[in-house]
Structure 1
């Protein structure tokens, strides 16, 4: 192998929405990007998996199936309240997910994933104060290709997928169809029946068309149907073991999430889970006037039906039913143009609207207490934005940008007790309305020390939308937008003839009017538990990423993130600095190694090993429930035949059988519950590609 062939590959990203893709190493933002080869190397199934490979990123599920609790640089959401706006924006093919409900983003037939760390308000808008995750589906190409995969694993795991790509009119019209289905009997044992628990069946169907009538116009239409059915997220009651009704206190327990029989549950009812997501996007790129005019129009419809034994014990103490319907429409029109070698810009308009209808029922204390709530929300938003790069000197770039947003929310709610459990009757409040506007500016500097080394710094502002608390409480006065002022410096380098890639970032983010659920006083309702602008905080940290080619066959990579999150004020807390953020470990890191070589028979062998460490963190604002630190070790072996058509793979995840949970809560006199992560899993996969 030549010296040039051993160099690290250039990674091209579209994070800054310029007229053409940019090299990640030349882009003055903190970002991690993955292509199909990297995701296949580490058997990435969804966004949760890919989040373990980036620093200061925690992409976790919640206590409801298909609801994400994503955090970047200490900012995120913990819970499943539908009105809670995310702090990490998810963008599928350029379309923002307006709700935390839906799928967790199965990364099947995806050509790229970009994780942008820190506020991204100028180009991506509201609700990206922590960062953004953008993934892009593979587009139809003008060549015949077919890829099919089947797999089998422990815990009754099966998978099958196929991708067909065909040119319909050469160089003019191409079609692609991607289909994937996965089955799982469940990772858990039901202690009351000694049967499997956690069954799941998911299906993705994604057809797409690409039309290029001439060299200046490219039109892509993508549709997707996602379905997931089976058992709900597994809740496990861990303390106490007594029946409901006994007076109990909840002392802080350092290691409460590591009891014996960790993957055993004892539900009184199996529950059910039913999610359907319809998605469509039309993307048009038109080379016009020396630049590119881009239109991205998307629609998403989410239907969720969940019945969960939330206390996770044999006693019928807390049976929860949730029905959530959400639909959204968005359209972005932008123009990007390099005016000269020293100046280029992107500017655009954006419109978004969504509606949701949320219902929740709670059957408590063996049916002696039955409560239900309902909420409705209409939300629309409009924005205008621009960002420009100016190079006054050969190696110096100045970036200036801003985004202005106007937003309206209209809401109705029926608190717990105002609806019958079957929703045959329900008394909704009069409609409440709030209007808001916000400006998100950015100033950045980038200086090229050499052709392979970049220094950059930025100052930016962003916001997380205000609104109404819509889960079981009366509608009170709206809470304000959450504001962040962020400062960052960074260094990117390809060294040793591009055998070593080293990136370093440091940041300081000041948050004002943090939205937290606390006891507060409303002028109209008195003392209520609801969302208030309850806190101010500072989050600072450092991040390191490195990749090295050690030999012709061996490469290693790793990342480290240290997060120091501190409350400056917190309503009702005398010493806010002593309280830790929810789901924010101080330290996290990952290490990966890949070994690849051509065998004597002409076939190829590849081995991959990855380890991800997550430091200890709390699940709740009072800091009662703590998850201890844990490390997940994954590995896989792959052999590709000399023809290049067949690949057989053996993989294992959580090989050390680490015990951890991705969510936990206190349930008053019922004690506590936890939602365990997956145990050790393994499987065999066969792929044909031609």
Structure 2
């Protein structure tokens, strides 16, 4: 239980000094500084309309295209070190872990969805395996923290990541970059945009290529680990037959192959990562092959009526096909080679498709009373096949069997939503929103034992494995273990209420309450009789107090959001080390409070500074894990950067950018406070180079993780056997050429 005094101190510790600063700042300061330099205005669509970031009562971190280029972001995961209270880790080809404010969603089990929405050009992407999008042609990325379900979509209990791409230009443009670095890492991205029918139809094509030879190595097999070989494509047509009507037709496709580190193994019962792991050299027979193909299309229609009301229709279909194969070599598997050696391999195939339709109608902007209302439909089908092979190498066959889980899950979701703002005066407004959601989900799971024959000594067996067939998919006989069917329907009314006061044109505060909901689901992942077990819905109540200020003629931005959240039945992925299985479970209760600070300042005309600070105090309040912190809830996350841009001639500028991020220690697995833990670390990056004064080209040197920190994105300990960890990239550096004509 939280003492009232402790809560008040945490909630207002940063707010009161900040309000005092805004109220008593010296106006003369602006006159003493360079008046020609100011922080740029950031436009976001966090509330489904274009607004200045300073006018949005939501905790938002946003990056425009120039900032994305300066930070050298290639994908969304790269951004996580620059955003307070966010942890984004790719674990394997199939699994991604995202945590905002300590609310974690590890998208591993096929019956489990994330609590963080990714919105790509107004399209909600349902599962994490489908949104590791390369940042080819991005206009802006917005990270919204806290429940956003009223307007952003379904299951948004933790927050949302909104990706807005550049629209085709009516002027011919070419932009891109190419870089080369250590680990033979090649990144090439390019976009061509221009008119097809001037004034009416424009188009663009963007292509990206990213590859590297692998950050680690299996020294037993002499094969790479953590390698990447990816292609990405995005195309769009923009049809504007009149000034009031815009029709966008978009298609994208990603092809991603890699060799995940199926874990760097260390001694049993360790608390900290050992040299066995930090050297990025794995031993043994396991070599993980990952394949992912992701694609989709969307038809977005935006129309403005003569009375200035606006209509938006977003129709989208998306799909992915993913395979993760953990290949075991019988000659080297987990012990001396030859007869009697234990063998274990695994295969996981997922095929998903989704369809969504959203329609929104909004009032004219600028009045004292504005509103937005809409309807939403979402349909999802996921097929998941898992095969875990285990046995003993006899020298000619594998004595053992394959446990097979074959599931098909379906989701249908319907929602009606609306939000309205009333400006009672020039300085005071109230915003309220509601969303009613119906989620219908069903699952069918077949569990079986796959065998090929009978061995006189060892019993059931399967044929010797090969690289092309490390975990067989066809068998002479199947022993049915049972079929599980389950259905669940959840209905929820959620919403938010916000009070905003504009003290001056540049300083405002807000108080907000939000109630969020995430639908229930199922366990469907190597559960040996437990598959199909249902997981209860997750509910969240969030309270926020915020300050937004832009001071000294836009030379200083100081934004602060304090929050307190209570989560009921938080859906959490845990590893059952006794039964050797991942299980999605409900934590009875989680309590979290903290804050996010976002500051930036123009120190000199050529020098800009930024600071982001996040604090989380999170605790599980019931059940077996009572008193522990949820996974990936780092108490402190701090990032600061300096950006320097100085003309050296009339046509040439020298620029430099450096960023330092610090993350406090955190657990990597629910219910495992010691053995699965990442210690505190620094993450340093930067870029230095020269560029044309008009921005048409730049040549630079870049570096990431410059101190070569070993950071585990996931780790688990099997008592008495081993600890296994998946690692974030090591130090990388290289040279980059970018162009924009």
TM-score by length of 1: 0.92
Cα deviation code 1:400-439 (max 9, x no counterpart): 1100001111111124748996343585625322111111
- Residue range with higher mean Cα deviation, 377-386 or 4-13: 4-13
String of CA shifts for 1:14-46, please: whole Å, max 9, x gaps.
11013xx10000111111111000010010111
Q: Deviations over 1:323-342 (max 9, x none)?
A: 00000000110011137621
Q: Does structure 2 retain, via aligned residues, the 8 Å contact 1:301–1:326?
A: yes
Q: Which moved more, 1:632-641 or 1:471-480?
A: 471-480
Q: Cα distance, 1:320 vs. partner?
A: 2.4
Could you say which residue in structure 2 is the equivalent of 1:40?
Answer: 69
Distance 1:659 1:276 in 2: 29
1:205 aligns with 2:223: no
Which residue, out of 292, 300, 307, partners 2:325? 307
Deviation at 1:533, TM superposition (A): 3.2
- 1:219–1:283: 8 Å Cα contact kept in structure 2? yes
1:14 partnered with 2:45 = yes
- 1: distance between equivalents of 2:574 and 2:735? 48
Query: Secondary structure of the equivalent of 1:48?
Result: helix
For residues 259 and 592 of structure 2, the distance between their equivalents in structure 1, rounded to whole angstroms, comes to 37
Match of 1:347 in 2: 373
Query: In 2, Cα distance between the equivalents of 1:84 and 1:69?
Result: 12
Equivalent of residue 620 in structure 2, options 545, 567, 570: 567
Residue 650 of structure 1 contacts residue 684 of structure 1 at CA under 8 Å; is this kept in 2?
Answer: yes
Q: Matched residue of 1:44: which SS?
A: coil
- Find the partner of 1:90 among 118, 122, 125: 118
- Match of 1:65, SS state, is coil
| SS in structure 2 at match of 1:429 | strand
Counterpart residue number, 1:656:
707
Q: How does 1:544-559 map to 2 (within 5 A)?
A: 544-559=597-612
**Aligned to 1:226, which of 254, 257, 266?**
254
1:278 is aligned to 2:309: no
Following TM superposition, by how much is the alpha carbon of 1:318 offset from its aligned partner in structure 2, in angstroms?
Answer: 4.3
Aligned in 2, Cα 1:476/1:640: closer, same or farther, shift over 3 Å?
closer
Residue aligning to 1:596 = 645
TM-superposed deviation, 1:150: 2.2
The answer to which of 347-356 and 93-102 deviates more is 93-102
Residues 88 and 154 of structure 1: CA distance in aligned 2, closer, same or farther (over 3 Å): same
Find the counterpart in structure 2 of residue 514 from structure 1.
570
Higher-Rg structure is 2
Greater than 6 Å deviation, 4+ residue runs: none
Aligned counterpart in structure 2 of residue 338 of structure 1, from 353, 364, 369:
364
Residue aligning to 2:188: 160
**Structure 1: which 5+ residue stretches go unaligned?**
241-249, 521-527
1:300–1:327 Cα contact (<8 Å) kept: yes
Q: What is the SS of the residue equivalent to 2:347?
A: strand
Does the 8 Å CA contact 2:587/2:620 hold for their aligned counterparts? no
1:623-662 equivalence runs, <5 A = 623=672, 624-641=675-692, 644-662=695-713
CA deviation string 1:118-158 (max 9, x = no partner): 00111123321111111012110100111242221110111
Contact 1:374 1:472 in 2 (8 A): no
Q: Quick one: which of 212, 216, 223 aligns to 1:188?
A: 216
Q: CA RMSD in A?
A: 2.4
Kindly tell me: are residues 269 and 467 of structure 1, through their superposed partners in 2, closer, same or farther at Cα, counting changes over 3 Å?
A: closer
- CA shift in 2, pair 1:365/1:235, >3 Å: farther
The Cα of 1:66 is off from its aligned counterpart by 5.3
User: Measured at CA, do residues 518 and 105 of structure 1 come closer, stay the same or move farther in structure 2, by a change above 3 Å?
Assistant: closer
CA contact (8 A) 1:275 1:305 kept: yes
The match for 1:135 is: 163
Structure 1 residues 643 and 481, CA, compared in 2 at 3 Å: closer, same or farther? closer
2:206 equivalent among 169, 172, 178: 178
d(CA) in 2 for partners of 1:161 and 1:519? 38
How much has 1:193 moved relative to structure 2?
4.8
**Equivalence for 1:376:** 408
Contact 1:493 1:502 in 2 (8 A): yes
Tell me, in whole angstroms, the C-alpha distance in 2 between the residues paired with 1:364 and 1:668.
19
Whole-Å separation in 2 of the counterparts to 1:641 and 1:23:
29
> How high is the TM-score relative to the length of structure 2?
0.85
Displacement after TM superposition at 1:680 (Å): 0.9
Q: Aligned partners of 1:229, 1:529: CA distance in 2, in Å?
A: 24
**Distance across 1 between alignment mates of 2:68 and 2:310:** 30
Q: Which runs of 5+ in 2 are unaligned?
A: 1-31, 335-341, 393-397, 453-470
Tell me by how many angstroms 1:660 deviates: 1.4
